[in-house]
Amino acid sequence: MKRVFMSVNDCKPGMTIAEDIYNEYGAVIIPEGTILEEYAIERVKKLGLVRIRMYDSTGEMIEASGTDLFRAQYKENLNTVKGVLHDISAGKQIDSQRVDQTTRSILSRINENREIVSCLSEMRTIDEYLYSHSLNVALLCMLIGKWLKFDYTKLKSLITSGFLHDIGKSRIAADILNKPGPLSDEEYEEIKKHTVYGYKIAETAAGVNDDILKGILLHHEREDGSGYPFSMKGENIHEFGKIIAVADVYDAMTSTRVYKAKQCPFDVIEIISVDHFNTLDNKITSVFLKNIASYYLGESVILSNDVIGEIVYINPFNISRPIIKSGNTYIDLVSQKGLRIREVI
Q: Which is nearer to Fe ion, 98 or 192 (CB)?
A: 192
The distance of closest approach from Cβ of residue 138 to Fe ion in the complex, given in angstroms and rounded to an integer, is 13
Beta carbon of residue 195, minimum distance to Fe ion (angstroms, whole number): 7
Which stretch in 162-170, 180-188, 308-316, 324-332 sits in contact with Fe ion by CB under 5 A?
A: 162-170
Q: Which is nearer to Fe ion, 166 or 223 (CB)?
A: 166
Lay out the site mask for Fe ion across 163-182 (x = CB under 5 A, - = otherwise).
---x----------------
Distance between CA atoms of 47 and 271, rounded to whole angstroms? Answer: 36
Burial 245-276 (b: 16+ CB within 10 A, else e): bbbbbbbebbbeeeeeeebbbbebbbebbeeb
In the complex, the smallest distance separating the C-beta of residue 252 from Fe ion, rounded to whole angstroms, is 9
Q: How far is the CB of 172 from Fe ion (least distance, A)?
A: 10
Q: Rounded CA gap, 226 and 1, in Å?
A: 43
Torsion of CA 70, 76, 81, 82, to 10 degrees: 130
Residue 112 or 166 with smaller CB distance to Fe ion: 166
Piece of the chain touching Fe ion by CB under 5 A; list 149-157, 158-166, 176-184, 302-310: 158-166
User: Which residues in 90-119 contact Fe ion (CB under 5 A)?
Assistant: none
Mapping DSSP to helix (H, G, I), strand (E, B) and coil, where does residue 30 land? strand
Determine, following the binding rule CB under 5 A, whether residue 251 of this chain makes contact with Fe ion.
no
Q: Which residue is nearest to Fe ion (CB)?
A: 166
User: Looking at 81-89, 90-98, 160-168, 278-286, which segment touches Fe ion (CB under 5 A)?
Assistant: 160-168
Phi first, then psi, for residue 313 (nearest 5°) are: -150, 130
Q: Measured from the CB atom, is 183 or 308 closer to Fe ion?
A: 183
Alpha carbon distances (Å) from 211 to 102, 160, 195, 316, 341: 18, 10, 14, 30, 39
Peptide bond before 265: cis, by omega within 30 degrees of 0?
Answer: no
Judge whether 201 and 88 are in contact, CB under 8 Å.
Answer: yes
Q: Which is nearer to Fe ion, 134 or 285 (CB)?
A: 134
**Cα–Cα distance measured from residue 22 to residue 9, given in angstroms and rounded to the nearest whole number:** 18
Q: What is the C-alpha separation between 294 and 272, in angstroms, rounded?
A: 16
Number of residues counted as binding Fe ion (CB under 5 A): 1
Measured from the CB of residue 50, what is the shortest distance to Fe ion in angstroms? 34
Helix (H, G, I), strand (E, B) or coil at 212: helix
What is the closest distance, in whole angstroms, from the C-beta atom of residue 245 to Fe ion in the complex? 9
Least Å distance between CB 170 and Fe ion? Answer: 12
Pick 166 or 239: Cβ nearer Fe ion? 166
**Distance between terminal CA atoms of the chain?**
24
Summarize as ranges the residues that interact with Fe ion (CB under 5 A): 166
